[in-house]
Structure 1
């Protein structure tokens, strides 16, 4: 009986980790589906980034904050972790590091799309 209870407990923990929430969500917008934080802030990609590498330096991160991952974050599926210029882990989707934009003031704002011809909403 004790073995059965331990096995059920292990299965429950394993099942919960499989269904862990993704770090961002897809939201419907006038531009179609885009990635946003759990608070609804639009996420962006930077054309000058390499696959799995952020090229947004410290000055850049002031205007384009990295979408940081918490300390317990684990890469899974299309989601990976890369180092931001500040040394912290940030989320990447399909190898592209993700950022928010300091010019977006409320959930759903997408004022960073097209800035400098190199910033785009993440889809």
Structure 2
């Protein structure tokens, strides 16, 4: 009886550890596009090479297209990764493409940056 109890405790501990080690996704899907936890639409930039681990949107570009910053200690998982920006800060990427917000989106659900200059697209799962 004691060994069965020990086995059940061990199984429960492993199950809890697996749940605890899976970090929450930094974004969610709403209306068929990725949005930050604030509900604001996320975008990708065609000039960013997927998988390069780099963003080419810096300076004035990043003022208009604020990077979706990753907090210190953030842990990527699944399709999410973290790229290091030119200024040394961390930015979330989805399937290797850095993610950005658009300064002209005013409220959750806005997608006014989609197709901007034919190089900005809503990020889609």
Number of matched pairs: 116
- Structure 1 runs of 4+ off > 6 angstroms? none
Q: TM-score, normalised by structure 1?
A: 0.84
Partners of 1:15 and 1:75 in 2: CA distance: 15
**SS class of match (2:62):** helix
**SS class of match (1:16):** helix
Aligned-pair Cα RMSD in Å: 1.9
* Structure 1 contact 58–86 (Cα < 8 Å) conserved: no
* Structure 1 contact 40–107 (Cα < 8 Å) conserved: yes
Structure 1: runs of 5+ lacking an equivalent: none
Partner of 2:26: 23
Q: TM-score, normalised by structure 2?
A: 0.83
Structure 2: runs of 5+ lacking an equivalent: none
The higher radius of gyration belongs to: 2
**SS class of match (1:69):** coil
